[in-house]
Amino acid sequence: MKKYNFFAGPAILPQPVLMKAAEAVNDFAGMGLSILEISHRSAQFTDVMERAFTAAKKLLNIPDTHEVLFLTGGASSQFFMAPLNLLGSTQKAGYINTGTWSTKAIKEAKHYGELIELASSKDRNFNYIPKGYDIPSDLRYLHYTSNNTIFGTQFAEAPKTSIPYVCDMSSDIFSRPINVSDYMMIYAGAQKNMGPAGTTLVIVNKDELGKVDRHIPTMLDYKTHITKQSSFNTPPAFPIFVSMLTMEWVLEQGGVEAMASRNEEKAALLYNEIDRNSLFTSPIATEDRSLMNICFLLKDSSLEDKFMAEATEAGCMGIKGHRSVGGFRASTYNAMSKEGVEVLVQVMKHFEEKNA
């Protein structure tokens, strides 16, 4: 039976990417060696890094003002690396709190300057994106999490302000066009919409670096990694390689514009069924629903195990909701096919027929 991977992360990868990655594990670039064991200083891996930089820049039309980095430590390390590098001790940064990851980012940033929590949706268990809040004009940057993997909300567009953004795009990077020039920094853990766990994409405005009044440890300084082209120390070679393959696959599909159209279509299929089906409901404010992580509930929670069993039997894997939300979560990242969403919708229809 065909399986459809709806896990939130580590998440689905395109089948052609998996095939190329598997081949490279046995023999990379005709070397007779595995991608897992070649030198990161070799010409073959230097080419991988260059292709990865090039693909990211093409996909997002990254201007020359910004540098692309592939680092370790996950997006969680960027919670402190961003303010460490960008926020002076006497400066202010504004944070919008829309879930678990922004909460953690706020906790870390407090150590490096004055932090202002501009708005929060915690009062309703993060089931909406805050609106109508004031944004001070003297902020160094405004931080937000573009897509909230756990709670199923997403910023339809960036907050309206002339303040530069710092944004955690871990779960919707390369899913839609963005204007990188508006961002002081973008970061994204690979394992949701870009590649396997192990590397983190950072896009940073190089003109904004070197302005803080503190010592920055060498390994935590973005300038170190810019100078050494993400190879100051041994980089996570295999995750970068697979991320490169994934970005090149997105380019082959038509780029982020094509991905945006497909993602909207897939999400509409599932949300329409959630709204139509008498057994299911969505806890998320309609205008703030994520196109990447679609959260929904059974009105009768006693049916959850039964529905989970039927979905699994149909090949829909990983739809159990996060423990802090409950219910179900279908992650429809770039690599999820329309077919996979259609199968899940059919499971929901049949479940209604038998249980309504």
Q: Residue 287: which of 118, 160, 157, 100 has the closest Cα?
A: 157
Answer yes or no: 101 catalytic. yes
Tokens representing residue 326 in the block? 């409950």
Nearest Cα to 193, choosing from 177, 166, 176, 175?
Answer: 175
Query: Which amino acid, one-letter code, is at 85?
Result: N
What is the tens place of the pLDDT at every residue in 236-258? 999 999 999 999 999 999 999 99
Residue ranges with strand state E in 149-218: 153-154, 165-168, 183-189, 200-205
Report d(CA 298, CA 307) in Å as an integer: 9
Q: What is the pTM of this model?
A: 0.97
- Band (117; pLDDT cuts 50, 70, 90): very high
Pick the catalytic residue from 101, 221, 249, 288: 101
- The structure tokens 């991988």 sit at 48
* pLDDT class of 1 with cuts at 50, 70, 90: confident
Tokens linked to 12: 């689905």
- Per the annotation, the verdict on 192 as an active-site residue is yes
Which of 110, 131, 160, 192 is catalytic? The answer is 192
Active-site hit among 57, 168, 221, 288: 168
Q: Is 328 exposed, middle or buried (0-12, 13-18, 19+ CB in 10 A)?
A: buried
> Bridge-partner residues for 295, per DSSP?
329
Question: Domain 4-12+255-355 carries which CATH code?
Answer: 3.90.1150.10
Topology (CATH) of 15-252:
Aspartate Aminotransferase; domain 2 (3.40.640)
- Give the percent of the chain with pLDDT over 70: 100
Structure tokens at 292: 């990447």
> Where along the chain do the CATH 3.90.1150.10 domains lie?
4-12+255-355
Q: Which amino acid is at 329?
A: R
* Distance in angstroms (rounded) separating the CA atoms of residues 209 and 226: 11
Catalytic residue list contains 300? no
Q: Partners of 321 in the beta sheet?
A: none
pLDDT digits (tens, 9 = 90+) for 56-107: 999 999 999 999 999 999 999 999 999 999 999 999 999 999 999 999 999 9
State the span(s) of the chain assigned CATH 3.40.640.10. Answer: 15-252
